Each structure stands twice: as structure tokens, then as C-alpha cells.
Structure 1
């Protein structure tokens, strides 16, 4: 593929960092944009940025999504052909206690990004959404064409709103856009507020791990490298109005579609815990707890559209992905 100029919001974050690394390795020119907020350990974000800064084709702009003027300037100066909008306030549970941060980052920030894209349209805009938008849906697996009108967290509601905003700009201004719904992404450099990080940290300190839903929840775990590979492949397949593929979610009025990214092979939470125990070489103390507000019992992706568009699916086994995280964690924190 010919090198592209690419704009990535949220590149100091877990997935944005991995995506930027992959794009740079592929020879693309990347401009990153991130506010480096203190939602979690800022030093972890700075460490990610330091690795990216070693690459000559990487430029970083430290600013908030809420700063519409700075965002417009940065996107225009990047000359981006692809835009990946991963910047957001993440976390289901945090949204219950800090709703305004989600409104500002996920709604106002996305609105600003879309206004910037309207003035300097990319060839393809990819918006990071979440499987959480399926909310209270009881039909499994979740398909892109299913209704997603019952969010059970504000985080999910802001992401579904973001999808609607992206669709409207795609329709009004002809911007080719894809909303990608991520399913429980994990891997090295992951967020400290996510289950895998918490499990390993607790076990390292010989503390009990909190297992919600009494361990009966199921998740379509997606290893971060698989997700990034799917994102890059999807970027090269922008939707075209009036040209659907088999099983498409393509809009009838815009060059816009929704795509799930996952392997479609959910695992029981206790199987995930067993993979962590195996990688750590020890058994964990289990603190069984009821489900938390905003959680759902199970997620599973319908992967037919993703496979139709890019020909492959995420397939890294959880045992392999978890072991890679544990290896990174021990190296990063200098523990055995």
C-alpha cells in the first residue's frame, strides 16, 4: 500500500497507541492528537508516547478534543487521508460517577472532530464505538443491523450518539465513514481500569481478584493486535453509497456503515481468569461479586460483515494474548 497521511485521536491511549505503532511500522505518516488526561496513570500514557516519538514519521499534538480550534488546525495541517477517531472518555463504570466528562469528550469532542473533517475531508473517517451500544439486547450474537436503542450506561449512550453524529456528517457532506464497534479489547499496554490489568496487579500483590457477575459473564475478548489489523484493513475499504456488500449495514442515504470487530468466539469469564492464573503460574484468590451497574451478562459479535469486508477475523487465543500481557506487565513494572 502507498504510504498515507493519517490522523489518530487518542494515540496516547491503549488502542490508539497500538494503532499508531502499526501504521508507522507500515510506513505511513502519522499525526497523533491526545489530551493526556489523568483518568488513569499519566506516566503510562507518557511511556507510550515516548515510544512513538522515536519514529521519524510521527508528529504529536497535545490538546483536548474540546478545543475545537486547535483540533481543526491540527487536522488541516496533517493533510490526513485517513482519520481514526479513538479519543474518548472510556469506561462503563466511571460514567456513572463522572457523567460530564463523557458529555464533553465523547459528544462535544466528536462534534469538533466532525466539524474539522467537514472542512478538510479525509478519504475515510473511522469512528471507534463499542459493543456496549447493544446494551439490553437479548439476541446473541450482536449484528450490526440489530437495533441498538437500549444503552445501559452513559458511556454506551455517548458512543451511540457519536455513531449518529458521524452518520449525519457522512450524509450531509459525503464523508466516507465507518463506525467500528470494539468487543472487550485486551493486551500489552492495556488500561489499569480494565479487568486483565486489575487481575494481574492484584495477583502480583497477593490480593484477591474481584470477579463480578459471580463469574458467569461471557465476553467476546479481542486481542489488540488483531483489532488493529482489522482497523487497518477496514481503512482501505471505505463505504460507497449505493454499493453494499453481502450482509451490509451500509446506510441508504450516506457512504456510512457500522462494523463489529471481534472473533465471534466468546469465553466464560472464569476461563479468562484461568488463563491469567496459568500465565502468572499461580492460583488467584477469588472474591465473587454480583454484577455492577452498567454491565451486561454476555457479549458476542456476529462477524459475517467483518469477514466479508476484510477476509480475516481476530483469532489470537486468550491463553496467548493473556500471556503476552503478563510478560509485558512484568517487564514494564520490573516484577517476577
Structure 2
């Protein structure tokens, strides 16, 4: 089996590659990532080093990393032509709601042009009667739900009112994938991830950013005066969901008109248990102290600031994972405290505090 993973040095991408190497008896993986400096590149280097160690332990499988941008159409075309992947997992994207407000160009390049290049490459993988790509799995986001009031969020809900450019690009990915599935019979599955966290995660996420600030003695801002709730989903649960989904593509079939019924699906992957931000901060501080990241006498109250909602944010995220459970017999279940404990222990080790 040949698998192409874009965003392979990213948080989800790197963990996916690690698990594929561990679990698949024989697999050929190519990872591509631009290694941009949106956040500390040393964390990406760390993830890639972990992959190299895992790959060395599995000589029956192969791993190759390419530094490159999926917005480079020529590079993507050459990659598909040479490697001929069976499965494509597109995780490369410019992430972050707030960054999209000040740096929109990055989102258009990666999330729209880059994803278009992936779709076109999948389309042409069938040229001249070739088997081509059997399943395209791609990252969407809980952000597509925007300011929807109904919870939990269901994939049956309308998501026509994004509140950030990031959310708009992710909804666009779903629409583009649907069109290509219909026109070219490309099996595709979109995964709406809900607030992914864990060791070696993204420093722009709240749990990581809070820790960095607290270490420096700076104040942390808790938005919407602490009245936000987030469906925190541990990285191992996310990867488990991705692996189960990628192995079972939507079925190709013809409709009554003789044309392909789009082999297309979208699922939520979330913990289905939204946590209040103040409770989340309380658990985080307890685990940071337990791991020795912060001293036992640390005065958290002196470093907390309750502030208004930020533009682009939403008050709650809450995943309905019923379809995921129905189709794949799986739902994320790692408790928040367990996940934050593992993060705190990794943080202590990575930064050698």
C-alpha cells in the first residue's frame, strides 16, 4: 500500500505516519511538508526525527520525506506521477482562526490552491485506465460550524455562515471535494477535527500557548470571560479515527441516471464532551505542577485575565460523532486530564526544564 501524507511534519500528520509505520505490516509512505515558520520549526524537526527512528525499526516499510509546498502544482504532479499513491491523506493546511484575520494570503495559497492541486492530481491519477487514488482523506475543521446555535454539531447541519476565513476555506474544501467526487468518481472523505491537543502539538493552541506564557510569568487571556466550551480531542483519538476512515472509502456506484453517485462522506471527530475553559485551565495548571513544569506555589490567579470574545471565535464546539460510531465502531474517549498530563510530561522533557 502506498500512502501520501501531506503536512507530514504537522501535529496530526506526523502522528499519523508514526502509527502507520507501527501498525501496517508493509507500507510505503511519502510525506510532504513546507516546514514553514508559522510556529517553532524545532517541534517539526522533533516530529520528523521521531518518524525516522520509527521507520528504521520497520525495514519492510519505506518512508520518504519531501520538503515542498502543495501549492506547487508542478511538484505535486511529479510526485503523483512517480509515486502513484493508493491513498492520499491531505493534512497540509494553514491552520488557526486568528491568524487568518491578519494573514489571509497564507490560507488562500495552502487551503485553496494547494487543495485544488491535490484534487487535480487525484483526478489525473486515473488517466489511461490506471487504478489511481482509491481514497482521498482530507482535513476539515469544526470551525465550519461557525455561529451555529444547535449543539451538538451534526454533519447534517447547514454550515453556510463561517465566521473566519479559515472556516470558509475548510468549507470550500468540502465543496470542492464533493464536486470532484461527482465529476471524476474520486472516493473522498472529509474529517472535521475538534480542538486537537497532546504532546508535541501546535504552540498556537491554547493549552500550549498558556504553558509558554505561564513559564515566562506572563498573564494568560481567557476569552469570553471563561464562558467558552471546547470539545478537546486527544491526538491519539484523532489518528485512530483517520486510520479507520482511510481504510474504508465511500463506495463507488451509479445512480438511476447512469452517472456516478458521489463517493463522498464527511465525519466529525471530536470527544463529544465539551469542557468549560476555566475547568480546562484548572486541570492544565494541576498537571503542569504535577509534571514539575511549574512550581507548586505558582499563583495562577495572578496570571489569569478574563477578556471578551475574539473575532472569529465561537462560544462552544461540540461534536456529534454518531455517524463515526455507526460506520467505524469508534468514538474518541481520552479524558482531558489524561491528555493534558501527557502533554505536561512531554513539555517537561522537550524543554528540559
State the distance in 2 between where 1:72 and 1:271 align: 47
TM-score by length of 1: 0.93
Q: Which residue of 2 aligns with 1:329?
A: 347
Q: What does residue 96 of structure 2 align with?
A: 91
- Which residue number corresponds to residue 100 of structure 1? 105
In the TM superposition, residue 66 of structure 1 has moved relative to its aligned partner by 1.1
CA distance in structure 2 between the aligned counterparts of 1:127 and 1:324, rounded to whole angstroms: 27
Deviation at 1:296, TM superposition (A): 0.2
2:66 counterpart (55, 61, 86)? 61
2:216 corresponds to 1:205: yes
**Residue 255 in structure 1 maps to residue 254 in structure 2:** no
How far apart are residue 263 of structure 1 and its match?
2.0
Aligned to 2:34: 35
**Cα drift, residue 322 of structure 1:** 0.3
1:241 CA displacement: 4.6
1:21 and 2:18 matched: yes
1:193 to 197, 201, 204: 204
> Can you list the C-alpha shifts for 1:13-52, whole angstroms capped at 9, x where unaligned?
1111111111111133211011111111112212211222
Aligned 8 A contact 1:241 1:256 in 2 = no
Question: For residues 161-310 of structure 1, what are the structure 2 equivalents within 5 Å?
Answer: 161-241=172-252, 253-281=261-289, 282=296, 284=300, 285-310=303-328
CA RMSD of aligned residues (A): 1.4
Cα distance in 1, alignment partners of residues 124 and 197 from structure 2 = 35
Q: Which residue of 2 aligns with 1:12?
A: 9
Q: Is the 8 A contact 1:171 1:253 kept in 2?
A: yes
Count residues in correspondence.
Answer: 324
Is the deviation greater in 201-210 or in 296-305?
201-210
CA distance in 2, matches of 1:208, 1:280: 16
Which residue, 125, 133, 136 being the options, matches 2:144?
133
SS across alignment from 1:59? strand
| Deviation readout 1:40-95 (Å, 9 max, x if unpaired) | 11122122112222314210111111111111211332232111000001100000
Structure of higher CA gyration radius: 2
Residue 51 of structure 1 pairs with residue 27 of structure 2: no
8 Å contact from structure 1 (residues 180, 258) kept in 2: yes
- CA shift, 1:300, in A, is 0.5
CA distance in 2, matches of 1:191, 1:23: 21
SS in 2 for 1:230: helix
Whole-angstrom distance in 2 between the partners of 1:289 and 1:85: 35
Question: Following TM superposition, by how much is the alpha carbon of 1:201 offset from its aligned partner in structure 2, in angstroms?
Answer: 1.3
List runs of 5+ in structure 2 lacking aligned partners. 57-61, 126-131, 255-259, 290-295
Q: What SS does structure 1 have at the residue aligned with 2:100?
A: helix
Secondary structure class of the residue paired with 1:93: helix
Aligned counterparts of 2:83 and 2:30: Cα–Cα separation in 1: 6
Task: Give the C-alpha shift of residue 206 in structure 1.
Answer: 2.6
Q: With structure 2 as the length reference, what TM-score do the two structures score?
A: 0.89
* Ranges in structure 1 where 5+ consecutive residues have no aligned partner: 244-251
